[in-house]
Structure 1
Amino acid sequence: MTVLMPIEDILKPELRALSCPNHRPYPPGAIRLDLNESPFPPSPKVIRAVVEACYEANRYPIEAELELESKIAEYVGLESSNIVIGNGSDCLIHAVMDATIRPGDTILMPFPSFQVFAIAVTRNGGNVKYVRLKPDKFKLPPDVVIDEARNCKAIVIVNPNNPTGNIVMSPNEVEEILSSFNGLVIVDEAYYEYSRVTVVNLVSDFDNLVVLRTFSKAFCMAGLRVGYAVTSKVMARALRKVRHEFPVSTVSLRAAIAALDDLEYMRRIVSYIERERKKLYNELKAISGVTPFPSCTNFILFKASRRDLARLLAKRNIFIRDFSKCMDGNYFRVSIGRSDENRIFLKTLREILES
């Protein structure tokens, strides 16, 4: 009888430290305020482009990818050779770590922050060192980062940070780090269109800078999965070597091109979300037992008096993100929805906290 090797012994040992995504369908009529999605569909121009792109879906997306690289380069003020497109920015996070992290390497990043970076590092046998953000302002002091990053391969800065919603470091402070750190500096600007804070202009001066952005948030295209990296030409070539050859479909590429041709639509969405965010912040601030934190994104982090708040809201078909397991206190993140969704959330929140 042949004795087969257990499948666990075939798999990479690094996978044991990772959890498997466990997505479940939302109930009918759910108010989805947990994933920082846009509550609105993409631009009508995007929807038309999606339909039309189906007629070229029999071909690999060579021309569409090159055209989108050119469009993004124009949008950020650089050259196409500085742009790498991916299947969402998550794909590019993994590509950056696949290209740079060897077993035993360490990256430095804030905590709490976007954990896909930690997953990508762990998958490559690397280690993660955290700088804990203090809950008074959730700032990332550059002197602390420089000191803690000794012997680190890379520094990750999510700016604005997820889940805290604030700018953790100014562009000048990022430049200070770039000037004194020999490793890679990765700045995640997924919420740039809301914050208007960027270090893209520094890419021409620093070969060790990678800026990541996405079409998922302000462009209302989370389901189409398009992200991009802005980096030096040397780093861009390296990323193209490790990512898939055709990582994004023709449909999604044409959608992103159309989105950049309709920036006015994106700006109207951003303005709407900003108005709703201000109203939601003020309403949360007025509720006893709730402490919201200022945000320049499409979500708000808040602290509440009840630890089981997310579970109780879910029972009423309202979904928010619970961070109480990883933060010291009852912290929750709520995405900014449509005006009617925000009103229902606030009404239900008050009822739960008053019960």
Structure 2
Amino acid sequence: MPSEQEAPVAEGIKPRAAVLRTREYHPPLGSREGVRLDFNENTLACSPRVLEVLGRISRAELTKYPERGPAEKLVAAHLGVMPDQVLLTNGVDEAIHVLCQTYLDAGDEFLLPVPTYSMYEVYGSSTDARMVFVPAAADFAFPEEELFRRITSVTKMIALANPNSPTGKSVPRGTILRLLERAPQAMVLVDEAYYHFYGETVLDLVGRAPNLVVTRTFSKAYGLAGLRLGALIASHEQMQWLRRMISPYSVNGLALACLPAALEDHAYLEWYVAQVREGRALFTAALDRLGLPYWPSQANFVLTKIGARHREFVAAMRRRDVLVRDRSTDPGCEGCVRITIGVLEHTRKGIAALEESLAEIGWKA
């Protein structure tokens, strides 16, 4: 064995070509002190019952490998699907990764309406498939006609965030049904991360449409973003392949222990969703009053059009301890800023900071 000083130096070792072309994702986290209206999280807290569970977890419990099965049965009952149709994941990000690794191969195409959630592109481009981007129609309307036109025999996956981020736009159920029929050779992912603020779902189609996959997250309304927990729902036939591609221990034991308490606290979930929906109406009314352009949203955020001074606006909001997300680098979103809607207290603080920040940068309608 060579000594440490004599260890050979690896030269010219490179990753796969797909890795080299994958766009690296840099979450703009940094210091996040203040009112968090930047990442579409629950802006307040999780259910108090979750904290009670955390307080009861013993040191011995942390020595065990986590087991998904019991929690998946609870989630299946909660969602009204069969237990073998649910796979818990380390956030929806892992669900997207597993889908891409399971279905995308060289020569395949991944159709992606844009702008949308960044991780679809990140994980899709890490495979040998070709990414096909379909720009949104006017006012970020779903590009149904163009998307259908781009479907071919090599289309293997299509991803729809419903409602979409960063726009807050939704895709009608009828359009999803036609897409499932039009592309039977492709897995169609309907990401329902913002379902609770929208209220419409296609979960009832799982199993009936063999090429449908639905994802849900516990990071938004449930307030468990720090525990990283998502759910992938698909037919039994597809699930047998998806389970081959996921680590058996990727969901941590703390998340699995806390999940039942979060699911059981219906009152807290209903309260938080009601706060967001009321806050969304309050916030858009303020935007109307100020003359600030925005797109009506079905989610827990609103995309606004600040224009050329978007960076100054984001900085001015931060000086007032309110964090918002600049989305100007997303396709078609130049000058746009996304603002999360949380509890009413935080929404009111956001509106006050918005008014002051627009005045500071000299923005005029």
Q: TM-score, normalised by structure 2?
A: 0.89
Native 8 Å contact 1:218 1:270 kept in 2: yes
Identical-residue share of aligned pairs (%): 26
- Residue identity opposite 2:237 in structure 1: V
Q: How many residues are matched?
A: 348
| Superposed CA RMSD | 2.0
- Indicate the residue corresponding to 1:95 in structure 2: 98
Return the alpha-carbon distance in structure 1 between the equivalents of residues 56 and 353 of structure 2.
42
1:224-239 correspondence runs (5 A): 224-239=227-242
Give deviations 1:186-243, integer Å, cap 9, x for gaps.
1100011111111111112111111011101111111111101110112112111111
- Residue identity opposite 1:210 in structure 2: V
- Residue identity opposite 1:75 in structure 2: H
- Give 5+ residue unaligned stretches, structure 1: none
- Residue identity opposite 1:130 in structure 2: F
Native 8 Å contact 1:138 1:164 kept in 2: no
- Indicate the residue corresponding to 1:270 in structure 2: 273
- Indicate the residue corresponding to 1:42 in structure 2: 46
Native 8 Å contact 1:88 1:227 kept in 2: yes
- Residue identity opposite 2:350 in structure 1: F
Query: Closer, same or farther in 2 for the Cα pair 1:81/1:22, shift >3 Å?
Result: closer
- Indicate the residue corresponding to 1:110 in structure 2: 113
SS state at 2:49 partner: helix
Return the alpha-carbon distance in structure 1 between the equivalents of residues 286 and 42 of structure 2.
21
Native 8 Å contact 2:40 2:300 kept in 1: yes
Query: Closer, same or farther in 2 for the Cα pair 1:130/1:22, shift >3 Å?
Result: closer
Native 8 Å contact 1:67 1:257 kept in 2: no
Following TM superposition, the consecutive aligned residue runs of length 4 or more in structure 1 with deviations greater than 6 angstroms are: none
Query: Closer, same or farther in 2 for the Cα pair 1:126/1:344, shift >3 Å?
Result: same
State whether structure 2 residue 11 is matched by structure 1 residue 10: no
- Give 5+ residue unaligned stretches, structure 2: 1-5
State whether structure 2 residue 353 is matched by structure 1 residue 348: yes
- Indicate the residue corresponding to 2:317 in structure 1: 313
Query: Closer, same or farther in 2 for the Cα pair 1:49/1:287, shift >3 Å?
Result: same
- Residue identity opposite 1:222 in structure 2: A
Q: Which moved more, 1:278-287 or 1:329-338?
A: 329-338
- Indicate the residue corresponding to 1:291 in structure 2: 293
Q: Which moved more, 1:336-345 or 1:172-181?
A: 336-345
- Residue identity opposite 2:51 in structure 1: I
State whether structure 2 residue 127 is matched by structure 1 residue 138: no
Return the alpha-carbon distance in structure 2 between the equivalents of residues 198 and 176 of structure 1.
15
- Indicate the residue corresponding to 1:204 in structure 2: 207
- Indicate the residue corresponding to 2:3 in structure 1: none
Give deviations 1:229-288, integer Å, cap 9, x for gaps.
110112112111111111111210121121111122111110111111110111012113
Please report how far the alpha carbon of residue 333 of structure 1 lies from its aligned counterpart in structure 2 after TM superposition. 0.4
State whether structure 2 residue 218 is matched by structure 1 residue 215: yes
Native 8 Å contact 1:50 1:252 kept in 2: no
Please report how far the alpha carbon of residue 300 of structure 1 lies from its aligned counterpart in structure 2 after TM superposition. 0.7
- Indicate the residue corresponding to 2:196 in structure 1: 193
Give deviations 1:137-165, integer Å, cap 9, x for gaps.
52232x43222121311111110001111
- Indicate the residue corresponding to 2:304 in structure 1: 302
SS state at 1:153 partner: strand
